[in-house]
Amino acid sequence: MTDDHSLNRRRFLKITSAIGAGAIVASALPKEVFSQDVKTPDKPATNIQDAMKHPRVENSMPGKFPGKVVEVIHDKSVIENKPESKAVNSMVSAGMLGLTGASDLKTAWRTFFNPGDRIGIKVNPVAGKELSTSIEVTRTVIAQLIDAGIPVEYIMIWDRREFELEETGFTPANFPGIAIKGTECKIDGSFTDASGKLFSEQRIDKDWYYWADVEGKYDAETLPYMVNEGKYSYFSKICTREVDKIINIPILKNAGASVTLCMKNLAYGAITNTGRLHKELWSETTAEACAFPPLRDKVVLNIVDGIRGCYNGGPGYNPQFVFDFKCMLFGTDPVAVDRIGYEIIQKKRKEEGVQKDESPRGRQFMILAQQLGLGTQDLDKIEWKKTELT
Protein backbone atom coordinates (compact mmCIF):
# COMPACT_ATOMS: atom_id res chain seq x y z
CA MET A 1 0.00 0.00 0.00
CA THR A 2 1.48 3.35 -1.01
CA ASP A 3 1.94 6.27 1.38
CA ASP A 4 -0.58 8.25 -0.68
CA HIS A 5 -3.12 5.46 -0.37
CA SER A 6 -2.49 5.24 3.38
CA LEU A 7 -3.04 8.98 3.73
CA ASN A 8 -6.31 8.90 1.80
CA ARG A 9 -7.50 5.86 3.74
CA ARG A 10 -6.71 7.52 7.09
CA ARG A 11 -8.53 10.63 5.93
CA PHE A 12 -11.54 8.57 4.89
CA LEU A 13 -11.61 6.74 8.21
CA LYS A 14 -11.42 10.08 9.99
CA ILE A 15 -14.39 11.34 7.98
CA THR A 16 -16.40 8.30 9.01
CA SER A 17 -15.07 8.02 12.58
CA ALA A 18 -18.46 8.74 14.10
CA ILE A 19 -19.84 5.77 12.22
CA GLY A 20 -16.95 3.57 13.25
CA ALA A 21 -17.53 4.43 16.88
CA GLY A 22 -21.16 3.43 16.63
CA ALA A 23 -22.26 6.96 17.48
CA ILE A 24 -25.05 6.78 14.95
CA VAL A 25 -26.88 4.33 17.15
CA ALA A 26 -25.58 5.16 20.59
CA SER A 27 -25.79 8.95 20.57
CA ALA A 28 -26.83 10.61 17.32
CA LEU A 29 -30.21 8.93 17.23
CA PRO A 30 -33.07 10.08 19.46
CA LYS A 31 -33.33 8.40 22.87
CA GLU A 32 -37.10 8.08 22.99
CA VAL A 33 -38.66 4.67 22.57
CA PHE A 34 -39.13 4.08 18.88
CA SER A 35 -42.35 3.17 17.11
CA GLN A 36 -42.62 -0.22 15.47
CA ASP A 37 -44.01 1.38 12.32
CA VAL A 38 -41.98 0.81 9.17
CA LYS A 39 -41.95 4.54 8.44
CA THR A 40 -42.24 7.39 10.93
CA PRO A 41 -43.44 10.87 9.90
CA ASP A 42 -40.14 12.59 10.73
CA LYS A 43 -38.03 10.28 8.56
CA PRO A 44 -37.01 11.20 5.00
CA ALA A 45 -38.96 9.38 2.30
CA THR A 46 -37.43 6.41 0.45
CA ASN A 47 -38.42 4.26 -2.52
CA ILE A 48 -39.02 1.12 -0.46
CA GLN A 49 -42.36 0.65 -2.23
CA ASP A 50 -40.45 0.05 -5.47
CA ALA A 51 -38.82 -2.97 -3.85
CA MET A 52 -42.13 -4.34 -2.60
CA LYS A 53 -43.59 -4.35 -6.13
CA HIS A 54 -41.25 -7.16 -7.20
CA PRO A 55 -42.72 -10.63 -6.61
CA ARG A 56 -40.77 -12.97 -4.39
CA VAL A 57 -38.97 -16.01 -5.74
CA GLU A 58 -38.08 -19.39 -4.28
CA ASN A 59 -34.89 -18.17 -2.60
CA SER A 60 -36.20 -14.85 -1.29
CA MET A 61 -35.43 -13.91 2.32
CA PRO A 62 -35.97 -15.45 4.83
CA GLY A 63 -34.96 -18.40 2.68
CA LYS A 64 -35.28 -22.15 3.07
CA PHE A 65 -35.09 -22.20 6.87
CA PRO A 66 -36.96 -19.15 8.19
CA GLY A 67 -36.48 -18.45 11.86
CA LYS A 68 -33.76 -21.09 12.32
CA VAL A 69 -30.29 -20.23 13.62
CA VAL A 70 -27.52 -22.70 14.37
CA GLU A 71 -24.77 -21.56 16.72
CA VAL A 72 -21.59 -23.63 16.71
CA ILE A 73 -19.06 -23.12 19.51
CA HIS A 74 -15.53 -24.52 19.55
CA ASP A 75 -13.33 -23.75 22.55
CA LYS A 76 -10.14 -24.43 20.58
CA SER A 77 -11.01 -22.32 17.56
CA VAL A 78 -8.50 -19.54 18.40
CA ILE A 79 -4.75 -20.04 18.76
CA GLU A 80 -2.45 -17.04 19.29
CA ASN A 81 -5.20 -14.61 18.26
CA LYS A 82 -5.92 -16.40 14.97
CA PRO A 83 -8.69 -18.79 13.96
CA GLU A 84 -7.45 -22.39 13.90
CA SER A 85 -8.13 -23.95 10.49
CA LYS A 86 -8.97 -27.47 11.63
CA ALA A 87 -11.45 -26.19 14.22
CA VAL A 88 -12.95 -23.81 11.66
CA ASN A 89 -13.53 -26.68 9.25
CA SER A 90 -15.30 -28.65 11.98
CA MET A 91 -17.45 -25.63 12.85
CA VAL A 92 -18.52 -24.96 9.27
CA SER A 93 -19.29 -28.64 8.76
CA ALA A 94 -21.38 -28.84 11.94
CA GLY A 95 -23.19 -25.61 11.09
CA MET A 96 -24.14 -26.70 7.59
CA LEU A 97 -25.32 -30.11 8.73
CA GLY A 98 -27.22 -28.62 11.65
CA LEU A 99 -28.93 -26.00 9.52
CA THR A 100 -29.98 -28.28 6.68
CA GLY A 101 -30.48 -31.57 8.52
CA ALA A 102 -28.49 -33.29 5.76
CA SER A 103 -26.56 -36.47 6.46
CA ASP A 104 -23.45 -35.38 4.55
CA LEU A 105 -21.74 -32.13 3.60
CA LYS A 106 -22.21 -32.41 -0.15
CA THR A 107 -25.97 -32.71 0.32
CA ALA A 108 -25.94 -29.82 2.78
CA TRP A 109 -24.21 -27.45 0.34
CA ARG A 110 -26.26 -28.69 -2.61
CA THR A 111 -29.37 -27.69 -0.66
CA PHE A 112 -28.47 -24.16 -1.75
CA PHE A 113 -26.07 -24.38 -4.68
CA ASN A 114 -25.71 -26.23 -7.98
CA PRO A 115 -22.62 -26.45 -10.21
CA GLY A 116 -24.02 -23.86 -12.64
CA ASP A 117 -24.60 -21.18 -9.98
CA ARG A 118 -22.33 -18.16 -9.96
CA ILE A 119 -21.69 -17.70 -6.24
CA GLY A 120 -20.63 -14.43 -4.62
CA ILE A 121 -19.11 -14.60 -1.14
CA LYS A 122 -19.73 -11.26 0.59
CA VAL A 123 -17.03 -10.65 3.18
CA ASN A 124 -16.38 -7.70 5.46
CA PRO A 125 -12.83 -6.24 5.32
CA VAL A 126 -13.65 -2.80 6.70
CA ALA A 127 -11.81 -3.01 10.04
CA GLY A 128 -8.48 -4.29 8.75
CA LYS A 129 -6.81 -7.65 9.21
CA GLU A 130 -7.51 -7.88 12.94
CA LEU A 131 -11.30 -7.61 12.72
CA SER A 132 -12.47 -8.70 9.29
CA THR A 133 -13.99 -11.86 7.86
CA SER A 134 -11.19 -14.34 8.49
CA ILE A 135 -9.17 -15.92 5.71
CA GLU A 136 -9.61 -19.28 7.48
CA VAL A 137 -13.41 -19.18 7.45
CA THR A 138 -13.52 -18.01 3.83
CA ARG A 139 -11.08 -20.71 2.71
CA THR A 140 -13.12 -23.38 4.47
CA VAL A 141 -16.36 -22.26 2.85
CA ILE A 142 -14.74 -22.27 -0.59
CA ALA A 143 -13.12 -25.67 -0.06
CA GLN A 144 -16.42 -27.21 0.96
CA LEU A 145 -18.20 -25.62 -2.00
CA ILE A 146 -15.61 -27.11 -4.36
CA ASP A 147 -15.94 -30.50 -2.66
CA ALA A 148 -19.68 -30.23 -3.27
CA GLY A 149 -19.07 -29.87 -7.00
CA ILE A 150 -19.04 -26.09 -7.49
CA PRO A 151 -16.37 -25.14 -10.08
CA VAL A 152 -13.73 -22.79 -8.73
CA GLU A 153 -14.27 -20.39 -11.64
CA TYR A 154 -17.89 -19.92 -10.52
CA ILE A 155 -16.90 -18.49 -7.12
CA MET A 156 -16.21 -14.81 -6.41
CA ILE A 157 -15.16 -13.03 -3.21
CA TRP A 158 -16.55 -9.52 -3.17
CA ASP A 159 -17.11 -6.40 -1.14
CA ARG A 160 -17.64 -2.75 -1.72
CA ARG A 161 -13.98 -1.62 -1.74
CA GLU A 162 -11.51 -3.66 -3.76
CA PHE A 163 -8.46 -2.14 -2.08
CA GLU A 164 -9.73 -3.14 1.37
CA LEU A 165 -10.04 -6.72 0.16
CA GLU A 166 -6.39 -6.70 -0.84
CA GLU A 167 -5.29 -5.07 2.41
CA THR A 168 -6.96 -7.75 4.52
CA GLY A 169 -5.58 -10.74 2.66
CA PHE A 170 -8.21 -11.45 0.03
CA THR A 171 -5.65 -11.80 -2.73
CA PRO A 172 -5.01 -14.23 -5.62
CA ALA A 173 -2.06 -15.62 -3.66
CA ASN A 174 -4.34 -16.63 -0.79
CA PHE A 175 -7.25 -17.68 -3.00
CA PRO A 176 -5.83 -19.07 -6.26
CA GLY A 177 -8.36 -19.35 -9.06
CA ILE A 178 -11.03 -17.33 -7.19
CA ALA A 179 -12.28 -14.03 -8.63
CA ILE A 180 -11.86 -11.16 -6.15
CA LYS A 181 -13.70 -7.95 -6.90
CA GLY A 182 -14.94 -4.72 -5.38
CA THR A 183 -17.28 -2.02 -6.61
CA GLU A 184 -15.04 0.86 -5.62
CA CYS A 185 -11.73 0.29 -7.34
CA LYS A 186 -8.41 1.61 -8.57
CA ILE A 187 -6.73 0.76 -11.84
CA ASP A 188 -2.97 1.30 -12.09
CA GLY A 189 -3.12 3.15 -8.77
CA SER A 190 -5.77 5.67 -9.81
CA PHE A 191 -9.47 6.00 -9.05
CA THR A 192 -10.10 7.85 -12.33
CA ASP A 193 -9.42 7.41 -16.02
CA ALA A 194 -7.69 9.96 -18.28
CA SER A 195 -10.91 11.98 -18.54
CA GLY A 196 -11.34 12.14 -14.78
CA LYS A 197 -14.21 9.65 -14.62
CA LEU A 198 -14.23 7.18 -11.74
CA PHE A 199 -13.52 3.60 -12.80
CA SER A 200 -16.05 2.58 -10.15
CA GLU A 201 -18.87 4.08 -12.21
CA GLN A 202 -18.47 1.19 -14.64
CA ARG A 203 -19.27 -1.21 -11.81
CA ILE A 204 -22.62 0.19 -10.68
CA ASP A 205 -26.05 -0.61 -12.11
CA LYS A 206 -28.21 2.48 -12.57
CA ASP A 207 -31.26 0.34 -13.25
CA TRP A 208 -31.24 -0.69 -9.58
CA TYR A 209 -31.12 1.94 -6.84
CA TYR A 210 -32.14 2.86 -3.33
CA TRP A 211 -33.50 6.40 -3.37
CA ALA A 212 -33.82 8.46 -0.18
CA ASP A 213 -34.72 12.10 0.26
CA VAL A 214 -31.31 12.92 1.73
CA GLU A 215 -28.62 14.65 -0.31
CA GLY A 216 -25.07 13.33 -0.50
CA LYS A 217 -22.35 15.91 -1.23
CA TYR A 218 -18.64 15.00 -1.05
CA ASP A 219 -15.31 16.64 -1.69
CA ALA A 220 -12.95 15.34 -4.36
CA GLU A 221 -11.03 13.11 -1.96
CA THR A 222 -14.13 11.49 -0.46
CA LEU A 223 -16.10 10.96 -3.69
CA PRO A 224 -14.14 7.84 -4.81
CA TYR A 225 -15.36 6.12 -1.64
CA MET A 226 -18.97 7.04 -2.44
CA VAL A 227 -18.95 6.84 -6.29
CA ASN A 228 -21.80 9.33 -6.74
CA GLU A 229 -23.54 12.21 -5.02
CA GLY A 230 -27.23 13.11 -4.89
CA LYS A 231 -30.21 11.15 -3.60
CA TYR A 232 -29.57 7.84 -5.37
CA SER A 233 -27.57 4.89 -4.06
CA TYR A 234 -26.92 2.46 -6.91
CA PHE A 235 -26.50 -1.27 -6.49
CA SER A 236 -23.26 -2.90 -7.54
CA LYS A 237 -23.30 -4.88 -10.80
CA ILE A 238 -21.75 -7.68 -8.78
CA CYS A 239 -25.15 -8.17 -7.13
CA THR A 240 -27.39 -7.34 -10.05
CA ARG A 241 -25.59 -9.07 -12.93
CA GLU A 242 -22.49 -11.04 -11.97
CA VAL A 243 -23.63 -13.52 -9.33
CA ASP A 244 -26.71 -15.71 -9.05
CA LYS A 245 -26.50 -16.49 -5.33
CA ILE A 246 -24.76 -14.87 -2.38
CA ILE A 247 -23.17 -16.27 0.77
CA ASN A 248 -22.96 -13.53 3.38
CA ILE A 249 -20.06 -13.81 5.88
CA PRO A 250 -20.08 -10.84 8.29
CA ILE A 251 -18.24 -10.45 11.60
CA LEU A 252 -19.77 -10.60 15.08
CA LYS A 253 -19.46 -6.89 15.89
CA ASN A 254 -21.31 -4.16 17.71
CA ALA A 255 -22.27 -0.77 16.36
CA GLY A 256 -22.85 1.26 19.49
CA ALA A 257 -25.69 -0.45 21.33
CA SER A 258 -26.72 -2.25 18.13
CA VAL A 259 -24.91 -4.71 15.87
CA THR A 260 -23.47 -4.72 12.37
CA LEU A 261 -23.94 -8.29 11.19
CA CYS A 262 -25.80 -9.84 8.26
CA MET A 263 -28.07 -7.05 7.11
CA LYS A 264 -25.66 -4.16 7.62
CA ASN A 265 -22.90 -6.07 5.80
CA LEU A 266 -25.24 -6.52 2.84
CA ALA A 267 -27.02 -3.17 2.73
CA TYR A 268 -24.08 -0.84 3.12
CA GLY A 269 -21.77 -3.15 1.18
CA ALA A 270 -23.90 -3.36 -1.95
CA ILE A 271 -24.85 0.27 -2.66
CA THR A 272 -23.07 3.56 -3.36
CA ASN A 273 -23.45 7.02 -1.80
CA THR A 274 -23.92 5.72 1.74
CA GLY A 275 -22.36 8.63 3.65
CA ARG A 276 -25.66 10.52 3.51
CA LEU A 277 -27.59 7.58 4.99
CA HIS A 278 -25.80 6.91 8.25
CA LYS A 279 -27.16 9.64 10.49
CA GLU A 280 -30.82 9.89 9.52
CA LEU A 281 -31.56 6.52 7.95
CA TRP A 282 -29.15 3.96 9.42
CA SER A 283 -31.84 1.53 10.52
CA GLU A 284 -34.06 2.16 7.52
CA THR A 285 -31.25 1.62 5.01
CA THR A 286 -30.02 -1.53 6.78
CA ALA A 287 -33.48 -3.06 6.43
CA GLU A 288 -34.78 -1.51 3.22
CA ALA A 289 -31.78 -2.03 0.94
CA CYS A 290 -32.00 -5.73 1.74
CA ALA A 291 -35.62 -5.75 0.52
CA PHE A 292 -34.56 -5.07 -3.08
CA PRO A 293 -34.28 -8.15 -5.34
CA PRO A 294 -30.49 -7.99 -5.89
CA LEU A 295 -30.13 -8.85 -2.20
CA ARG A 296 -33.52 -10.20 -1.11
CA ASP A 297 -33.63 -12.87 -3.82
CA LYS A 298 -29.94 -13.81 -4.00
CA VAL A 299 -28.66 -14.05 -0.43
CA VAL A 300 -29.37 -17.71 0.34
CA LEU A 301 -27.00 -18.31 3.25
CA ASN A 302 -25.59 -16.27 6.13
CA ILE A 303 -22.54 -17.44 8.09
CA VAL A 304 -21.46 -15.09 10.89
CA ASP A 305 -17.75 -15.30 11.68
CA GLY A 306 -17.91 -14.93 15.44
CA ILE A 307 -14.64 -16.66 16.22
CA ARG A 308 -13.15 -13.26 17.03
CA GLY A 309 -15.37 -10.20 17.24
CA CYS A 310 -15.94 -7.09 19.30
CA TYR A 311 -18.51 -6.01 21.87
CA ASN A 312 -17.67 -2.30 21.97
CA GLY A 313 -15.96 0.28 19.79
CA GLY A 314 -17.27 -1.35 16.64
CA PRO A 315 -17.49 -1.55 13.77
CA GLY A 316 -13.89 -0.27 13.74
CA TYR A 317 -10.96 -2.09 15.29
CA ASN A 318 -10.29 -1.19 18.92
CA PRO A 319 -8.11 -3.95 20.38
CA GLN A 320 -9.25 -3.45 23.97
CA PHE A 321 -12.75 -4.55 22.97
CA VAL A 322 -11.90 -7.50 20.73
CA PHE A 323 -13.11 -10.78 22.22
CA ASP A 324 -12.78 -14.44 21.27
CA PHE A 325 -16.43 -15.45 21.09
CA LYS A 326 -15.29 -18.75 19.52
CA CYS A 327 -18.60 -19.21 17.75
CA MET A 328 -20.21 -19.13 14.32
CA LEU A 329 -23.85 -18.56 13.38
CA PHE A 330 -25.61 -20.18 10.41
CA GLY A 331 -28.99 -19.37 8.90
CA THR A 332 -30.91 -18.37 5.81
CA ASP A 333 -32.98 -15.83 7.75
CA PRO A 334 -30.73 -12.74 8.14
CA VAL A 335 -33.06 -11.09 10.62
CA ALA A 336 -33.10 -14.11 12.93
CA VAL A 337 -29.32 -14.49 12.66
CA ASP A 338 -28.84 -10.81 13.48
CA ARG A 339 -31.14 -11.15 16.50
CA ILE A 340 -29.13 -14.04 17.91
CA GLY A 341 -25.89 -12.17 17.29
CA TYR A 342 -27.44 -9.19 19.01
CA GLU A 343 -28.26 -11.32 22.05
CA ILE A 344 -24.66 -12.55 22.22
CA ILE A 345 -23.26 -9.02 21.98
CA GLN A 346 -25.75 -7.63 24.49
CA LYS A 347 -24.83 -10.32 27.03
CA LYS A 348 -21.13 -9.52 26.71
CA ARG A 349 -21.69 -5.74 26.91
CA LYS A 350 -23.65 -6.16 30.14
CA GLU A 351 -21.02 -8.50 31.60
CA GLU A 352 -18.32 -5.91 30.87
CA GLY A 353 -20.37 -3.04 32.28
CA VAL A 354 -20.53 -1.25 28.92
CA GLN A 355 -24.29 -1.25 28.93
CA LYS A 356 -26.93 -1.82 31.59
CA ASP A 357 -30.21 -1.85 29.66
CA GLU A 358 -31.15 -2.48 26.05
CA SER A 359 -31.13 0.65 23.90
CA PRO A 360 -34.58 1.53 22.53
CA ARG A 361 -32.95 1.90 19.12
CA GLY A 362 -30.84 -1.23 19.15
CA ARG A 363 -33.25 -3.52 17.32
CA GLN A 364 -35.09 -1.00 15.17
CA PHE A 365 -33.61 -2.24 11.91
CA MET A 366 -34.65 -5.80 12.77
CA ILE A 367 -38.20 -4.71 13.53
CA LEU A 368 -38.35 -2.87 10.20
CA ALA A 369 -36.90 -5.87 8.37
CA GLN A 370 -39.45 -8.19 9.95
CA GLN A 371 -42.25 -5.93 8.82
CA LEU A 372 -40.80 -6.04 5.31
CA GLY A 373 -41.05 -9.82 5.35
CA LEU A 374 -37.30 -10.46 5.40
CA GLY A 375 -37.33 -12.65 8.50
CA THR A 376 -38.18 -12.74 12.19
CA GLN A 377 -36.63 -10.93 15.11
CA ASP A 378 -39.02 -12.33 17.72
CA LEU A 379 -36.97 -14.55 20.02
CA ASP A 380 -39.93 -16.76 20.86
CA LYS A 381 -40.31 -17.55 17.15
CA ILE A 382 -36.64 -18.31 16.51
CA GLU A 383 -35.30 -21.86 16.71
CA TRP A 384 -31.87 -21.28 18.27
CA LYS A 385 -29.88 -24.50 18.11
CA LYS A 386 -26.51 -24.62 19.90
CA THR A 387 -23.75 -27.12 19.16
CA GLU A 388 -20.54 -27.28 21.19
CA LEU A 389 -17.44 -28.91 19.71
CA THR A 390 -14.17 -29.85 21.38
Q: What pLDDT is recorded for position 42?
A: 82
Instruction: List the domain range (segments joined by +) for residue 124.
Output: 3-389
Q: What pLDDT is recorded for position 41?
A: 56
Q: What's the total number of domains in the chain?
A: 1
Q: What pLDDT is recorded for position 14?
A: 39
Q: Kindly give the parts of the chain with pLDDT less than 70.
A: 1-41
Q: What pLDDT is recorded for position 9?
A: 43
Q: Going edge to edge, which strands form the sheet with 383-389?
A: 179-184, 155-161, 119-122, 245-248, 299-306, 327-331, 68-74, 383-389
Its pTM stands at 0.91
Q: What pLDDT is recorded for position 1?
A: 34
Q: What pLDDT is recorded for position 32?
A: 27
Q: ∠ CA 314-320-326 to the nearest 5 degrees?
A: 75
Please count the residues of the chain.
390
